[in-house]
Chains A and B, each alone.
Chain A
Amino acid sequence: MLPDPVRGGFGVPGPGKFVFRIPVCARDGAATHPRHRVVKELVYVTSAPVLALRGVSKRFGAVQVLTDVELEVHAGEVVALVGDNGAGKSTLVKTIAGVHPIDDGVIEWEGRSVSINRPQDAQHLGVATVYQDLALCDNLDVVNNLYLGRELKRRGTLDEVTMEQKAQELLSTLSIRIPSVRIPVASLSGGQRQVVAIARSLIGDPKVVILDEPTAALGVEQTAQVLDLVERLRERGLGVILISHNMVDVRAVADRVAVLRLGKNNGTFPVHGTTQETIIAAITGATDNAVTRRQSRTAEATK
C-alpha cells in the first residue's frame, strides 16, 4: 500500500498546527541545499489552508478529467503537483485559475467556499497563474510587462517613473538580476523571461501563485534562478503550486508533493522523508498492477 496520504502538511489536527519551516533568511549561494544544513523552525500556522479543493470533479464531454480531487495549499508552502501526461494537472490548475469552472466539489478560500467561474474571479481572490508559455509581450520593456493591465497613473497618464521605481524594488527584493528594466523582454534569456513572468504575477499581491512547468525548457543555471525565486516566494508567505515533470526540481523546493494519476489523487507526500522512487511509483502507478489489485480484492473478501 502507498503511504497514508497526508492532508495539509505534517500537522496535528485541530484549529492550528505546527509545521517545520526553514528560517526565512536561511539561504545562501552554497552548493548544498540549505535544508540539509539549516535547523528548521517550528512555526504555528492557522489551520485553514489558503486554498483547498474538496472533491473536485471536471468532465469534458464524455471524458472525466478530474474525479474527486483533493488539494490543500497553506501560506508559505510549496506544493508540487506531479503526474504523468494527461493526469489532469493542467486541468486542475485551470479550474483554480478560473479557465474551466468545476462541475462538482468545493473550492475553499481561507476556509470559506467560493465559486471561481472566470479568470477574474481567481485574480480577485488572490490567485496568480504563470503559464508555461510565458505570456509576456516581447515588444514591451520589463516595466511595461510587469504592469501590463495594471498600469499606475498620475493625472490620467501613465506614471512611468513610479512604475520603474517599484519594478526595480520588486525585482531587487526577489534578487532578480536583469540587465535593465527598460529593455524589451525580447532581449532577455529564457530564465530571465521566466523570472520576469513570475515577478509579474506578484504585482497584484496574490496569496497563491501557480507555476506551470516554470523550469521546462530552461538551462541548468536558469533553472537554479527560477528555483531560487520559488523559495523566495515561500519566504514571502505565499502558497505556491508548482507543476513540474522534473523530480529533482520538485525535491529541491517543494514541501509536499501531490500526485495525480488518471484524474484522481494518488497520494500526497511530504518531500522530506519520502524517496523519489515512492513518488515515481505513485506517478506511474507502478504499484497499481494485477498483483496489488488481486491482493486488495482478497483482503476485502476476507473481511
Chain B
Amino acid sequence: MSNNIDAPAPAVEQAIDPRLLVREQGFSGYISEFKRKIRGGELGSLPVIIGLIVIWAAFAASNGNFLSASNFEYIAYYMVGIGTLSIGLVFVLLLGEIDLSVGSVSGLSAAIFAVLSVTHGVNLWLATIAALATGAVIGAIHGFVFAKIGVPAFVVTLAGFLGWNGLMLWLLGDTGTINLPDTGLIHLFGGNSFFLNGDIAGAYILAGVGVAALLFSSLGEQGRRRSAKVPFRPTSEIVLRTVVLAIAAFGSAYVLNLHKGVPNNLVFFLAALIICDFVLRRTSYGRKIFAVGGNIEASRRAGINVAAIRISVYAISGFFAALGGLVISATISSANQGGSDPNNLMMAIAAAVIGGTSLFGGRGKVWSALLGMLVIESINAGLFMLGEAQSVQYMITGGVLLAAVVVDSLSRRTQKSSGRA
C-alpha cells in the first residue's frame, strides 16, 4: 500500500498551475511577459519614459533650441541638487512614509557649511562633514520621534520643516547671504567642474564603464543561476538590456560632449544612485526597508527591528537632504535665505513619485529620483526657454505631479484587481 506513495510526488511537481504564465524562451517571451506586466498594472518606469518623450517632443516643436546640447547640459547640471534630496525621499517613500523636512534641512546644511567655513574659517572638509552629520542627526531625531514616540511622520517632519528653516535663518543672520568660495567640495559640485576637465574621452569612459558593468554583472549572475539550476535571464534579454543602456549612455555622453562634457556633480549623482540601488536591492538592510514598507507587522514578526529601520531611513533622508543642500548652494555659489525654498521639497517629492516610486510604500527604485528629475528639469528648462513665468512653471509641475500620483494609484488598483497587490 505504501509503495505507491512516493510515485505521485514527482508527477505533482511537473503539474503547472494554469494561472502561471510560464516565460517562453527568447525574445517573444520577453515581449509577452512585458505585456502581461502592463496589463497587471506593473507599469514600472514606462509612464515616465513615455512622459519624458512627450515633453521633449512638445518643447522641441515649440522651440528649436530645446534639443540643443547646451540645454541638455543645463538640465543634467541643475537636476542634481534636488535629485539628491529625492534619493533620500525614495528611501522614506519605500517605508510608506513622508519626510517634509528635506527642503529645510538642505538649507540648514548649506548655512552651517557657509557659517563654519566662511565666517569662522573652519577647514572646508571639516565643515562639509559637520554639515552632512548635522543632516543625518536631524533625520535620526525625526525618525526617533516618529518610531519610538509614535508621532505621525507627517507631523514630525512638518515641525522640522518649520523649525530647521528658522534655525537656518538665525544662523545666516542679518545679511541673509553668505557667498561661498569656489574650492573643495563646492568647486566639485559647481558649474566649472567637469569630469576629466571636460575631455571628450571622459564621457565615453563613464558610459563604457557603466555598460560593461551591467553586461558583466548580468552574465555573471546568469552563470551562477545556470549552475545552481534556477531560472535565469536568457542571453538575448541581457543583450537587449545592455544595448538599451548603451544607447542611452553613449547618446548622453555624445550630447554632453557637444557642449562642455559631463559635469562632476552629475558623476557624483550617478555614483550615489548606484550605491543606493545596490544597498536597496542587494543587502539585507535594503530588503528590510522593503519589508517594513510592505507589512510592518510581518516585518516585526520576522525579527526585524522596525524602529531601527525607521530611524536609520530618516537619518539617510536627512543625510541626502544635507548633501543636496551643499550641491544646491554650490550651483548658486552661496548659502542664502532661499536655501530652504519649500519648492525644493515639493520638487523632490514630485521627482520620486513621477519616477515611479509608490507613495503607498514597498514599491520603487532609487532610479526614480533620476527619471523624475529629468522630467521636472526638462519642464523647467522648456518653460524657461519659452519665457513663461514661474507661475506657469509651478502650475505645470503641479499637474505633472498629480498625473504621476494618479498613475500610481490607478496602477495600484489594477494590481489589486489582478491580484498583484
Residues of A within 8 A of B (CB): 23, 25-29, 37-39, 119-120, 123, 131, 133-140, 144, 148-151, 153, 156-158, 161-162, 164-165, 168, 172, 175, 177-180, 182, 184, 186-187
Say yes or no: A38-B284 contact (C-beta < 8 A), given A137-B294, A137-B299, A177-B15.
no
The answer to the question of B12 belonging to the interface, with a C-beta cut-off of 8 Å to chain A, is: yes
**CB-CB < 8 A to A179: which residues of B?**
16-17, 19-20
Question: Shortest Cβ distance from A1 into chain B, in angstroms?
Answer: 39
**CB-CB < 8 A to B15: which residues of A?**
177
B419 engages A168 (CB within 8 Å): no
The answer to the question of B63 belonging to the interface, with a C-beta cut-off of 8 Å to chain A, is: no
For chain B, residues 1 to 43, give those with C-beta under 8 angstroms from any C-beta of chain A.
1-2, 4-6, 8-9, 12-13, 15-17, 19-20
Neighbour of A158 across the interface among B9, B231, B282, CB < 8 A: B282
Neighbour of B230 across the interface among A131, A164, A177, CB < 8 A: A164
Neighbour of B287 across the interface among A131, A158, A161, A178, CB < 8 A: A158
Say yes or no: A178-B420 contact (C-beta < 8 A), given A135-B295, A137-B362.
no
Neighbour of A148 across the interface among B8, B16, B291, CB < 8 A: B291
Question: Shortest Cβ distance from A11 into chain B, in angstroms?
Answer: 24
**CB-CB < 8 A to B419: which residues of A?**
186-187
Interface pick from B110-118, B125-133, B221-229, B388-396:
B221-229
A138 engages B295 (CB within 8 Å): yes
**CB-CB < 8 A to B228: which residues of A?**
161-162, 164-165
The answer to the question of B283 belonging to the interface, with a C-beta cut-off of 8 Å to chain A, is: yes
Give A133 to B282 CA distance when docked, in angstroms: 28
**CB-CB < 8 A to A165: which residues of B?**
228-230
Max chain B CB contacts within 10 Å: which of A134, A139, A149? Answer: A139
Neighbour of B231 across the interface among A151, A157, A162, A182, CB < 8 A: A182
Question: Shortest Cβ distance from A39 into chain B, in angstroms?
Answer: 8
Give the residue name and chain of the A residue nearest to B419 (CB). Answer: A187
Give A54 to B314 CA distance when docked, in angstroms: 46
The answer to the question of B415 belonging to the interface, with a C-beta cut-off of 8 Å to chain A, is: yes
Q: Mark B324-365, 1 if CB is under 8 A from A, else 0.
A: 000000000000000000000000000000000000011100
Question: Shortest Cβ distance from A155 into chain B, in angstroms?
Answer: 10
Interface residues of A: mostly helix, strand, loop or mixed?
A: loop
Give A214 to B301 CA distance when docked, in angstroms: 17
Closest CB pairs A-B (n = 6): A179-B20, A149-B302, A137-B294, A139-B362, A139-B294, A135-B298
Neighbour of B301 across the interface among A29, A131, A156, CB < 8 A: A131
Neighbour of B2 across the interface among A23, A161, A180, CB < 8 A: A23
Give A148 to B295 CA distance when docked, in angstroms: 12
Give A156 to B225 CA distance when docked, in angstroms: 18
Give A256 to B302 CA distance when docked, in angstroms: 30
B295 engages A184 (CB within 8 Å): no
Question: Shortest Cβ distance from A207 into chain B, in angstroms?
Answer: 18
Question: Shortest Cβ distance from A209 into chain B, in angstroms?
Answer: 14
A184 engages B420 (CB within 8 Å): yes
Give the residue name and chain of the A residue nearest to B94 (CB). Answer: A139
Max chain B CB contacts within 10 Å: which of A119, A150, A158? Answer: A158
**CB-CB < 8 A to A172: which residues of B?**
13
Question: Shortest Cβ distance from A93 into chain B, in angstroms?
Answer: 14
Give A172 to B230 CA distance when docked, in angstroms: 14
Q: Mark B279-308, 1 if CB is under 8 A from A, else 0.
A: 000111001101101110111011110000
Neighbour of B284 across the interface among A138, A158, A182, A186, CB < 8 A: A158
Say yes or no: A136-B5 contact (C-beta < 8 A), given A148-B291, A161-B225.
no
Say yes or no: A156-B6 contact (C-beta < 8 A), given A26-B1, A139-B294, A186-B415.
no
B230 engages A138 (CB within 8 Å): no
